[in-house]
Amino acid sequence: MPSQKVLEQKQQLVADVTERVKNSVTGLLVSYEGINVADDTKLRKDLREAGVKYTVIKNTLLERAFENTGMSELNVHLAGTTALATSDEDYAAAARILCGFADKSKTFEVKGGYLDGEVIGMDKIDALAKLPSRDILLANVLGAFQAPVASFARAIQAIVDKGGVENCAKAEAPAEEAAATEAAAE
């Protein structure tokens, strides 16, 4: 029987993991079996840079935490070596990094996960992994917003290059007259 001190430490760990899961937007369970220290170090660095918390946690503690959060369906994945990766802001970062690592590894695998408090399957995890990073998505949105402004700026520059609005109107007038003359000739 564990001592009272050990029991209190485990209860605190369960409470901490429960809060972590509740406060995260996404989380993934992985089996990290068979990866070497160098790969594990690189993986942890990539996850940390993306704002993802990655921790090896005992399955029994995870089981209790998932029961506390109403996601006990994840307990079927709690066998063997298990690590939990959670993100408080970026929905796709953990999936992108961990699925990419799993594709290159023979033993590392993503077991399951959750998104906004709901358990998701591997199909949704794979879809999340294929999403571009937040920075790339923001750049695409910014580019879409800038496109009309850039077109307008090019049009203004063309007017300035032709010597102003009056010269542009004079340049267009002969073309309009020629079109009118052709139409009258028909």
* Residue 172 confidence (pLDDT): 53
Question: Same domain, yes or no, for 14 and 90?
Answer: yes
Beta bridge partners of 83: 30, 56
Let me know: does 40 contact 30? Beta carbons within 8 Å: no
Question: Same domain, yes or no, for 66 and 15?
Answer: yes
Residues belonging to the chain: 186
Between CA 96 and CA 152 the distance in angstroms is 38
Q: What is the pTM of this model?
A: 0.68
For residue 86, what is the domain's CATH number? 3.30.70.1730
Question: Same domain, yes or no, for 156 and 110?
Answer: no
* Residue 127 confidence (pLDDT): 86
* Residue 142 confidence (pLDDT): 73
Question: Same domain, yes or no, for 96 and 160?
Answer: no
- pLDDT one-digit tens code per residue, 57-86: 899 999 999 999 888 898 888 888 899 999
Question: Same domain, yes or no, for 65 and 36?
Answer: yes
Calculate the alpha carbon distances from 45 to 36, 138, 140 in Å.
14, 23, 26
Q: Can you give the residue range of the structural domain that contains 74?
A: 4-131
Does residue 173 or residue 27 have the better pLDDT?
27
- pLDDT one-digit tens code per residue, 13-55: 888 888 998 999 999 999 988 888 999 999 999 999 989 999 9
Question: Same domain, yes or no, for 145 and 92?
Answer: no
Question: Same domain, yes or no, for 113 and 153?
Answer: no
Domain count, the chain: 2
Domain boundary among 112, 131, 150: 131
* Residue 174 confidence (pLDDT): 53
Question: Same domain, yes or no, for 65 and 151?
Answer: no
Does residue 183 or residue 75 have the better pLDDT?
75
Amino acid identity, position 14:
V
- pLDDT one-digit tens code per residue, 145-165: 777 777 777 777 777 777 665
Does residue 31 or residue 144 have the better pLDDT?
31
Nearest to 129 by CA among 88, 99, 174, 167: 99
